[in-house]
Structures are given as structure tokens and as C-alpha cells.
């Protein structure tokens, strides 16, 4: 079982999806999950996901960002907490901090993030409003390896949906979240099964370089 740490700042719905998917499918079933969430770490004690993790029986830790003099000190404390957990894969899930290149380097190839857009489109914030303003036909979410470039690491899998007439950022956010809850656990499973790897900044799927991200399309997502 691959030990996974999930790092959050907010409500933690992706964290919950990652935990629940691993429990739903045993490693011995076809397509089953070979990972286990060993710790949920938040950068603030107000993160709603902490209570969810506790209810799920997952050990939690808080590395309170406000108590550190600078980013380097916070990043060192976060790295120490991750190491103490024994995690071999780290899933950032709604984590609202930019990590230093030093931090990223330590965990390179083992650090994932989920971003609510079809990267490389719409790095940064307000992605749903930006996709609607641009009158895009499609929008979605991307799971990617983290590199020093914000939202710039190699993309493993995308969930894509069609934008509808009259869509609002909130309505789109709900549908994107539903897709996120499918693709993030799926990527964790593929990595745990050894089917997805990152070598020298390139994603490999079943030992072949991935030319385009794996795709999950779901127009029916609620």
C-alpha cells in the first residue's frame, strides 16, 4: 500500500474523495486502489477538511502558517510533517500556499496538485469565471505533478465538461468538483499501481511517455 499524505487549506472534498475511493476498492480487486491515506495536513486549524478527516479516522496535523516567520520556515515544518507521516506520495488538494522551489525539489515526482482548469489554460485563481468570460466550449480540472512553476508541472489527467448556456461560476464549480472527485483518486491509484510515473519532468503511462493528458469526460456531472 502506497502511503499518501493529503495537504489541504479548505473544505477538503477532494481529500474525502481520495480517502473514500481507496476504501471502496481493495487492492486485490481488478482496478483496485493500492494506496492508503496516512495523514491529512492543513496549514490552518480552520480548514473544514480537518473534521472530515477525523470523522474518517485519518490522523491529522496542522502546520499553522501564521506561526512561522517566513515561507522557508513554514516549508521546512511542512516537509518535516510529511516525512514523519511516512508518506511516499503527497496530494495537494485545495492547498492555498505557494511552495518554495526547495520544498518542491525534495518531493519531486511524488508531489501532486489538482487545479480547476484545463491546464495550461487559466493558471491561478478565478478559473471558472475566466473560462465563462472567454466563452469556452469546455472547462474542467487537471491533476499534475508539482514543479517550481505555479500550476505549470506536467499534467497527468484531466476531467473535461461542456459549459452550458446560462452557466455561472458556482454552477460550474459544482460540476468541476464532481469531476475532480473522480480524477484525483484515479491518478493516486494509477501511481500506486506503478502505471504512472514522472521521470525527468515527463509523465509515463504504462512505460510510454504520455503525449497528452489522460482524459475523463463527463457532461452529466451534477
Q: Which residues are catalytic?
A: 115
In whole angstroms, what is the distance from residue 96 CA to residue 70 CA?
16
Residue 118 as a binder of ligand GRF (CB under 6 A): the answer is: no
Residue 141 as a binder of ligand GRF (CB under 6 A): the answer is: yes
DSSP helix/strand/coil, 72: helix
Q: Which stretch binds ligand GRF (CB under 6 A): 35-43, 64-72, 113-121, 145-153?
A: 113-121
CB atoms within 10 A of CB 86: 10
Chain residues 172-211 in contact with ligand GRF, contact rule CB under 6 A: 177, 180
Nearest residue to ligand GRF, scored by beta-carbon proximity = 94
Query: From the CB of 18, what's the least distance to ligand GRF, in Å?
Result: 9
Residue spans of alpha helices (H) in 61-126: 71-85, 101-106
Query: From the CB of 48, what's the least distance to ligand GRF, in Å?
Result: 8
Consecutive H or E run containing 136 = none
> Which of residues 12 and 203 has its CB atom nearest to ligand GRF in the complex?
12
Burial class (CB in 10 A: 0-12, 13-18, 19+), 95: buried
Residues that bind ligand GRF (CB under 6 A): 8, 10-14, 93-94, 114-116, 141, 177, 180
Amino acid at each position: 500500500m502506497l502511503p499518501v499524505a493529503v495537504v489541504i487549506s479548505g473544505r477538503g472534498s477532494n481529500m474525502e474523495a481520495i480517502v473514500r475511493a481507496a476504501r471502496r476498492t481493495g487492492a486485490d480487486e481488478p482496478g483496485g486502489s493500492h494506496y492508503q491515506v496516512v495523514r491529512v495536513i492543513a496549514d490552518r486549524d480552520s480548514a473544514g477538511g480537518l473534521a472530515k478527516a477525523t470523522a474518517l479516522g485519518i490522523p491529522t496535523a496542522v502546520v499553522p502558517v501564521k506561526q512561522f516567520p517566513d515561507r522557508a520556515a513554514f516549508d521546512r515544518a511542512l516537509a518535516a510533517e510529511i516525512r514523519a507521516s511516512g508518506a511516499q506520495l503527497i496530494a495537494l488538494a485545495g492547498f492555498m500556499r505557494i511552495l518554495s522551489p526547495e520544498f518542491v525539489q525534495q518531493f519531486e515526482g511524488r508531489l501532486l496538485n489538482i487545479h480547476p482548469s484545463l491546464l495550461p489554460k487559466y493558471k491561478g485563481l478565478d478559473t471558472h469565471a475566466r473560462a465563462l468570460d472567454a466563452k469556452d466550449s469546455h472547462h474542467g480540472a487537471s491533476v499534475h505533478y508539482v514543479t517550481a512553476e505555479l500550476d505549470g508541472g506536467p499534467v497527468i489527467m484531466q476531467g473535461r465538461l461542456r459549459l452550458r448556456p446560462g452557466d455561472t461560476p458556482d454552477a460550474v464549480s459544482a460540476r468541476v468538483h464532481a469531476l475532480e472527485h473522480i480524477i484525483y483518486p484515479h491518478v493516486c491509484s494509477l501511481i500506486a499501481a506503478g502505471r504512472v510515473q514522472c521521470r525527468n519532468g515527463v509523465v509515463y503511462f504504462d512505460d510510454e511517455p504520455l503525449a497528452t493528458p489522460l482524459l475523463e469526460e463527463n457532461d452529466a456531472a451534477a
